[in-house]
Amino acid sequence: MLRILGSPRRLCDGLTRRDMLQAGGLSLAGLGLSDFLAAREAQASGGGDVAGFGRARQCIIVYLYGAHSQLETFDMKPDAPVEIRGTMKPIPSVLPGLDVCELLPETAKIMDRVTVVRSVTHPHPIHGVAFATTGSPATDVNMELSPHDPRHHPYFGSVVQYLDRQKQRGRGESLIPQNVALPFPFSSQRVGEVYRAGPYASYLGSQYNPTFTEYLGKATRSVEKTLRDMKIDCWDPYVACDEDSHFQLSAARQLPEMTMDRLSRRRSLLGQFDDVRREVTAGAESLALSRNQELAFSLITSSKVAEALDVRRESQATRELYGLSLFGQSCLAARRMIEAGTRLVSVFWDEYGLAGDAWDTHWNHFPRMTDQLLPSFDRGFSGLIRDLDDRGMLNDTLVCLLSDHGRTPKLNNAAGGGRDHWSQVYSLVFAGGGVPRGKVIGASDKTASTPTDRPVSPKDLLATMYHLLGIDPHTTLRDRAGQLIPLVPEGNDIVPELLA
């Protein structure tokens, strides 16, 4: 930062004369006044007086797109009528009093290391990755199907990256990407509808979008997938994938004939053009281009990220611990990226091959849970928790299992039976990084329809996640219009029961 010496005379808006001179100097470096003010606001935020603040050094978000059923995972109701409880039976976990679905035998063994929140609730029973992972106070179908709707707020990982970067001004930036999303660009592997909104930086600018990976591998099993009257036979790597499966960052792709010498010469020439461009242009998009160029060059020329994403370097036993599925190997790659120095990694169980896929079980609910979903989840999620704990990484790594909403308590009459959208109550899971071990927060009624104890909103959970990562959830950012926007809507605060 350009530092100006002199008297700290204070102006009528609370800024000092020195602040204004610093801001002017920053504009020469491509940082606008709004960025300076946002950084100032972020630094002024407190939060350290509440337990657990900053306990997590890094975070892994596991997102089950489409929404898993609370009744077939962490809130089973064996005494409910069959049209509600379904056909699956509970099994005891290592945490007394907490049963889980019989298709989660490995997950049952790690429930004493996590906290389950059984009373998550909100009023929007539509798909909403953006709603569940941002400060957007509300959502609708048009927003969900429009990634660039101006009403969207920045993704959780984008905010963490942005605020971290404000603190690091002038001290250089890590060559390891700090906001990574696996296994491929969100909503890019489905057919049938437009792209969905989700993990994007909104008004922070595209330079704060997650750095997505690409999946390199093949499926080894096929499953039948249904969307209304459409049926396809799909080879789905989320079900099972080959041993050669691994990942690379999208930004690291280069043509085979692009040698390091040619790359360096191109970088030098591009740098000369950029020097001129920076003299005549300014603003967030210009800054985004420069940062993304630097990231691309660093990723291509450094082997550290490539090695971290190459899960083939792990032992066979470790890979099998996570399960040979796209979800399991993504969770393994997330652990490796955290070890390499990434601050936040998101693992999405995304739609594959067909819209209305993943955990959106309107059709063939029980066959899909049995053949397509629960076995891979069981190995991948339990493997992640166990591996982090065994390596001594769980205490400072926050793991958040998130989703859009829950599923209807009563089964529908669709082909094969199904559960539709239900946001009145559902279950999410948290572990590590300042979260208690072996705890259940909240409860639902006898049919898993409504909360009966300690209702919690997705925004409460986001506030808690920010807090655990050392970010005051009351911090404000400036949107495109210059308005101050809180990280989470007013009236939502941290959940003290979720702090160890």
Q: Which long-range contacts (CB under 8 A, 24 or more apart) does 261-265 make?
A: 263/297, 263/300, 263/301
SS3 for the chain is CCCCCCCCCECCCCCEHHHHHHHHHHHHCCCCHHHHHHHHHHHHCCCCCCCCCCCCCEEEEEEECCCCCHHHCCCCCCCCCHHHHCCCCEEECCCCCCEEECCCHHHHCCHHHEEEEEEECCCCCCCCHHHHHECCCCCCHHHHCCCCCCCCCCEHHHHHHHHHHHHCCCCCCCCCCCEEEECCCCCCCCCCCCCCCCCCCHHHCHHHCCEEEEEECCECCEEEEEECCEEEEEECCCCCECCCCEEEEHHHCCCCCCCHHHHHHHHHHHHHHHHHHHHHCCCHHHHHHHHHHHHHHHHHHCCHHHHHHCHHHCCHHHHHHHCCCHHHHHHHHHHHHHHHCCCEEEEEECCCCCCCCCCCCCCCHHHHHHHHHHHHHHHHHHHHHHHHHHCCCHHHEEEEEEECCEECCCCCCCCCCCCCEECCCEEEEEECCCCCCCEEECEECCCCCCEEECCECHHHHHHHHHHHCCCCCCCEEECCCCCEEECCCCCCCCCHHHCC
Place of tokens 């281009």: 289
Q: Between 256 and 414, where is the model more confident? A: 414
Beta-carbon-side half-sphere exposure of residue 47 (alpha carbons within 13 Å): 24
Query: What local confidence, expressed as pLDDT, does residue 2 receive?
Result: 32
Q: Is 20 a residue whose pLDDT tops 60? A: no
Segment 133-149 shows an average pLDDT of: 95
3-7, 52-56, 326-330: which range is least confident on average? 3-7
Please give the average per-residue pLDDT across 356-365, as a whole number: 94
If you average pLDDT over residues 407-415, what whole number do you get?
94
Instruction: List the structure tokens of 392.
Output: 């001594």
pLDDT classification of 289: cutoffs 50, 70, 90 = low
Q: What is the mean pLDDT of residues 117-123?
A: 98
- Mean pLDDT of the 245-270 span: 58
pLDDT at 198 over 90: yes
CA angle 462, 369, 498 (to 5 degrees): 25
Q: Whole-structure pTM over 0.75, yes or no?
A: yes
Q: What confidence score (pLDDT) does residue 1 get?
A: 32
Burial label for 485, CB within 10 Å (0-12, 13-18, 19+), is middle
Q: What pLDDT is attached to residue 21?
A: 38
Higher-confidence position of 292 and 316: 316
More confident residue, 193 or 24: 193
Q: How many Å apart are CA 58 and CA 12, to the nearest integer?
A: 39
Query: If you average pLDDT over residues 297-326, what whole number do you get?
Result: 88
Task: Place domain 55-252+307-498 in its CATH homologous superfamily.
Answer: Alkaline Phosphatase, subunit A (3.40.720.10)
pLDDT at 15 over 70: no
Give residue 257's pLDDT band: very low, low, confident or very high (50, 70, 90). very low
| CB 409 within 8 Å of CB 107 | no
Higher pLDDT, 354 or 64: 64
**Mean pLDDT along residues 288-313:** 72
The predicted pLDDT at position 285 comes to 52
Residue 372 · residue 397 · CB < 8 Å: no
Bond into 183 cis (ω within 30): yes
User: pLDDT digits over 168-181, tens only?
Assistant: 865 666 789 999 99
For residues 82-108, average pLDDT: 97
Please say if the pLDDT value at position 231 is more than 50: yes
CA neighbor of 447 nearest in space, from 19, 62, 5, 81: 81
Q: What is the mean pLDDT of the chain?
A: 85
Q: Could you tell me the pLDDT band of residue 355, with boundaries at 50, 70 and 90?
A: confident
Going by pLDDT thresholds of 50, 70 and 90, the confidence category of residue 135 is very high
Structure tokens given for 22: 């610093």
427 phi/psi in degrees, rounded to 5: -120, 135
| pLDDT at position 298 | 55
Lowest mean pLDDT across 208-222, 261-275, 443-457, 460-474? 261-275
Q: How confident is the model at residue 44 (pLDDT cuts 50, 70, 90)?
A: very low
Tens digits of residue pLDDT in 362-377:
999 999 999 999 999 9
- The rounded distance, in Å, linking the Cα atoms of 451 and 215 is 39
Nearest-CA neighbor of 62 among 339, 366, 320, 398? 398
Distance CA 366, CA 162 (A): 42
Give the pLDDT score at 9: 35
Is pLDDT above 70 for 279?
no
Ranges 269-273, 336-340, 363-367, 401-405: which has the least confidence: 269-273
Please give the Cα distance from 310 to 266 (Å, whole number): 27
For residue 414, give every residue at least 6 positions away whose Cβ sits within 8 Å of its Cβ, in sequence order, or none: 362, 363
Which tokens is 329 given?
């190997």
| Residue 226: pLDDT band with limits 50, 70, 90 | confident
Better pLDDT: 127 or 49: 127
449-464 pLDDT, tens digit each: 999 999 999 999 999 9
Average pLDDT of the segment spanning 243-262: 65
Average pLDDT of the segment spanning 349-364: 93
Residue 139 predicted with pLDDT over 50 = yes
